[in-house]
Amino acid sequence: MNIRLSRSVLLRGLLFWHRKAAIFTESVIGISCFLRKSPVGGYSNSSGDPTMFEKYWRQMGDKATVVIPGWQHISYFSDVTNICWFLEPKFAKEVERVHKAVGNAVTEGRHIVVGTGSSQLYLAALYALSAHDLTEPVSVVSEAPYYSSYPSMTDCLKSGLYKWMGDARSFNKEGAYIELVTSPNNPDGHIRRSVVNRSEGILVHDLAYYWPQYTPISSPADHDLMLFTVSKSTGHAGMRIGWALVKDREIASRMTKFIELNTIGVSKDSQLRAAKILEVISDSSERAGSSAEGESFFEFSYNLMSERWKLLREAVEHSGSFSLPEFRPGFCTFLNRVSESQPAFAWMKCERDIEDCESFLQGHKIFTRGGKHFGVGTEYVRISMLDRDDNFHLLVKRLSAIHI
């Protein structure tokens, strides 16, 4: 009798908290759209805020809702037997599951290290891979155009362990180095491989965009150190959760030590929410097409990206003032068909002797990020493909109206 009563009370309590969570969520939905302000009269496209995915998650209703009572997850520790002692087992399980469902990365024989976004994991990797007894910092390089935050993140604290040395193609310094391989690449969307290829080099593979909505999944990535993030895989940038798949136990231990020194672990609440999101994605992938699940997350996202790239290419062609990169289709093992590359960012070039594309577009009330931030010329800009529908359609309209 007491057991039945306790279960009844528990169920009523959970229902109450689900309703409270839903009410609170609805109360802030109307506010969220106004948190990021654009320049007066203009359209800001300089960030990669992935708000495009809101549409899918609204359709999911409370399937991805997580309720955490106030007394839970108070301790610093998650699993003291794990190298990454603050890694929530549920999150680790769902990371392995989603990679298996998608087929984009090998998880067997890897240690999972969780971080506050892949940005923290990037710094943790630099710390772990740098020799702490050298007389000069280890060189850090990446092929241009490279992710615009690599230089500033690398040199922010003026570390004596590592130093940003720019474009991997022009790197000729002797000694140890770390090469960052971002594939698909941010900003241009191309598949990347290492460039320097010397025996003293160590590779870090940033695979934030190696998901079916952006590029054909050709085979599971199998590298020594791979970085992923929920920001671009699921759209939950505000969750601030990323993970690394690390082959070497000692490197995983050093990365964990960096995060311990930096933030004494990673939010358990964020990990559990991320685990639930990944669980919903894996469920939708494994049961795609059934009446209960409907369209999978990756099918939905792929179709949305496909439509957006179609609209952008039409606008660029209509204007005649710009050009976009071309990509070869490839067979996607996840979608089980030939699919297109449709990157999260469009790497656009201004034609017709426009030397400073960023400034030119700013004059047309389109605010982008120019090529100089990515280690190349000012004739290029990066445009995000991940904004909300209204903003994206405004971008397309304004680009289409530019004629020289």
Which has more pLDDT, 397 or 24?
A: 397
> Worst-scoring range by mean pLDDT, 286-300, 350-364, 387-401?
286-300
Identify the band that residue 294 occupies on the pLDDT scale cut at 50, 70 and 90: low
Identify the residue whose tokens are 């469920």.
283
Q: What is the pLDDT of residue 135?
A: 87
State how far the Cα of 184 lies from the Cα of 271, in Å rounded to an integer: 25
Count of helices and strands (H, E) across the chain:
11, 15
The answer to whether 43 and 366 have CB atoms below 8 angstroms apart is yes
Name the residue with tokens 């057991």. 3
- For residue range 60-76, list pLDDT tens digits in order: 999 999 999 999 999 99
CB 310, CB 316: distance < 8 Å = no
pLDDT given at position 372 = 98
| Mean pLDDT of the 287-296 span | 62
The 10s digit of each residue's pLDDT in 299-322 is: 999 999 999 999 999 999 999 999
What would you report as the CA-atom Rg of the chain, rounded to the nearest whole angstrom? Answer: 22
Exposed/middle/buried for 93, CB within 10 Å: 0-12, 13-18, 19+? middle
Convert the pLDDT of each residue in 231-245 to its tens digit.
Answer: 999 999 999 999 999
Element (H, E) at 14: helix 2-32
User: What's the rounded Cα separation, in Å, for the pair 128 and 252?
Assistant: 8
Q: Is the pLDDT at 256 greater than 80, yes or no? A: yes
The pLDDT of residue 30 is above 70: no
What are the residues whose beta carbons fall under 8 Å from the beta carbon of 179, sequence distance 6 or more?
Answer: 140, 141, 142, 168, 194, 195, 196, 201, 202, 203, 204
| Residue owning tokens 């680790």 | 92
Rounded to a whole number, what is the distance in angstroms from the first to the last CA of the chain? Answer: 80
**Looking at residue 22, what DSSP letter applies?**
H
Burial of 356 (0-12, 13-18, 19+ CB in 10 A): middle
State pLDDT tens for residues 132-172.
888 899 999 999 999 999 999 999 999 999 999 999 999 99
Average pLDDT value for residue range 266-273: 98
In this predicted model, what pLDDT tens digit does every residue of 73-100 receive, in sequence order? 999 999 999 999 999 999 999 999 999 9
Condensed to tens digits (0 to 9), the pLDDT of residues 194-207 reads 999 999 999 999 99
Average pLDDT, the chain: 91
- pLDDT band (50, 70, 90) for residue 25: very low
Q: Is the pLDDT at 33 greater than 50, yes or no? A: no
- The β-bridge relationship of strands 369-370 and 380-384 is antiparallel
- Predicted TM-score of the model (pTM): 0.90
> Which structure tokens are listed for 202?
């160590």
